[in-house]
Structure 1
Amino acid sequence: MCGSTVERFFRGISEFIFHTKLGVADVQLVDYVSDLMLRFVRVDSLYSLRQSDGMRTKHVVQMISEAERRIGLAKREVYRHVGDFTLFWSGMYPESLSAKKNRGESPDQLIDYCRQGKRAYAIAAEIEGGADRPSSELIHRMSEHFEMCAYGLREVRRHWEEDDDSNGLLTW
């Protein structure tokens, strides 16, 4: 298995948590979650979606609005990004969502990230993506198992934070 150190780390910790700790046997789903973490290491990937005026979207409400303006594969990719974005935040940093709601300054303060993520993946799964993109079946499974994936991501974070606290392998 080749790849960068970060890629191997995310893949290894995802496989450990999802396969060993949670008993998830769906290799494609676990690989998708690993790839999601790797993509979102770069903040510009997390906020890669742009509005029609060229500005980056930072809120789920804006992303959904953009998705509704698109058709075909473009619509699928925006909805998939909404699913990925909501899964990442609700799994890796759920406390930031609570903070947004408590501050009352975000357009996303009234939305349920879990419900919107499941819905976004379900819509994306209805549009075929082609051979070079995740299958509709996989995206549909992401919708069905959203809560479990979010829980798995929380466990990934907990595991690496515990490892970091004990001067384990993660020392970045």
Structure 2
Amino acid sequence: MEDLRAYQPLRQLFAELVGRVFWNKPIELRDREVLLYLCDLLTRFTRMDRIYRLRDARGRRLEEVAEMLMEADVLLNARSFHQEREVHKHIGDFTLFWTGVYPEALRLLRHPTRKDHLIDYVQQGKRSYYIASTFEEGEWRKESRILRRLSHEFEICSFGLNLVRREWEKMGDPTYRLIMEAFEDWEG
């Protein structure tokens, strides 16, 4: 996993928001490892170079799931099973991020002129997380359980990430900040 210490304040904010949204109704997903994974995903994907980190053999940035799938296939472009796993994990992250945090972008990502036009991001995300979860050897053992859970709970996680986004958007609202400050004064 990537070292996210430089992003600690941002990661703490995401941890608070993810905990608040996922721990309570209507979601009630209380798997600590999955929630930490989602915090890390949000933290990593604050940088565009992490969202679009995959490259083909020529070094060209891969921006569409269809292209990523070609890089994940050992019979086509994947040079190893390690690459296959990492690409499928990234496809799961990529599709979960867009379907959850910015679903309005799907209209552009799946525009009829794009290769992703016929790809169902939810189904492909679930499938890719599942494929990545089948690599259970050594260093991947712990994460394989998390990826399998993300595959099974993809829609719930997507919905929850959308609620997390709504929460952080509220934080910019001056009225919301006044209410939260008053609440903190009342609690404290």
Q: TM-score, normalised by structure 2?
A: 0.82
- Shift of the 155–118 alpha-carbon distance from structure 1 to 2, 3 Å rule, reads same
Q: 2:100 — aligned with what?
A: 91
Q: 2:172 — aligned with what?
A: 164
Q: 1:78 — aligned with what?
A: 87
Q: 2:67 — aligned with what?
A: 62
- Conservation of the 8 A alpha-carbon contact between 2:52 and 2:61: yes
- Conservation of the 8 A alpha-carbon contact between 1:73 and 1:128: no
- Conservation of the 8 A alpha-carbon contact between 1:76 and 1:129: no
RMSD (Å), alpha carbons:
1.9
- Conservation of the 8 A alpha-carbon contact between 1:129 and 1:135: no
Name segments (4+ residues, structure 1) moved above 3 Å. none
- Shift of the 153–4 alpha-carbon distance from structure 1 to 2, 3 Å rule, reads same
User: Which of 46, 57, 68 is residue 41 of structure 1 equivalent to?
Assistant: 46
User: Which of 2, 8, 11 is residue 15 of structure 2 equivalent to?
Assistant: 11
Give the distance between the partners of 1:16 and 1:23, measured in 2 at CA. Answer: 10
Q: 2:184 — aligned with what?
A: none
Give the distance between the partners of 1:147 and 1:37, measured in 2 at CA. Answer: 16
Give, in angstroms, the shift of residue 43 of structure 1: 0.6
Q: 2:136 — aligned with what?
A: 128
- Letter of the structure 2 residue corresponding to residue 7 of structure 1: R
Q: How do residues 96-135 of structure 1 correspond to structure 2 at under 5 angstroms? A: 96-101=105-110, 103-128=111-136, 130-131=138-139, 135=143
- Letter of the structure 2 residue corresponding to residue 54 of structure 1: G
Stretches of structure 2 that go unaligned for 5 or more consecutive residues are 179-188
Asked which structure has the greater CA Rg, the reply is 2
The DSSP-based 3-state class of the residue aligned with 1:131 is helix
Q: 1:26 — aligned with what?
A: 31
Q: 2:151 — aligned with what?
A: 143
The DSSP-based 3-state class of the residue aligned with 2:100 is helix
- Shift of the 99–133 alpha-carbon distance from structure 1 to 2, 3 Å rule, reads same
Give, in angstroms, the shift of residue 133 of structure 1: 7.5
Superposed CA deviations along residues 63-99 of structure 1, whole A, max 9, x for unmatched, are 0110003232221111000000000000001111024
Q: TM-score, normalised by structure 1?
A: 0.89
- Shift of the 154–37 alpha-carbon distance from structure 1 to 2, 3 Å rule, reads same
Stretches of structure 1 that go unaligned for 5 or more consecutive residues are none
- Letter of the structure 1 residue corresponding to residue 14 of structure 2: F
- Letter of the structure 2 residue corresponding to residue 39 of structure 1: R
- Conservation of the 8 A alpha-carbon contact between 2:135 and 2:141: no
- Letter of the structure 2 residue corresponding to residue 107 of structure 1: K
Task: Percent identity, please.
Answer: 40
Give the distance between the partners of 1:80 and 1:72, measured in 2 at CA. Answer: 12
Superposed CA deviations along residues 37-79 of structure 1, whole A, max 9, x for unmatched, are 0010111010000011110100000001100032322211110
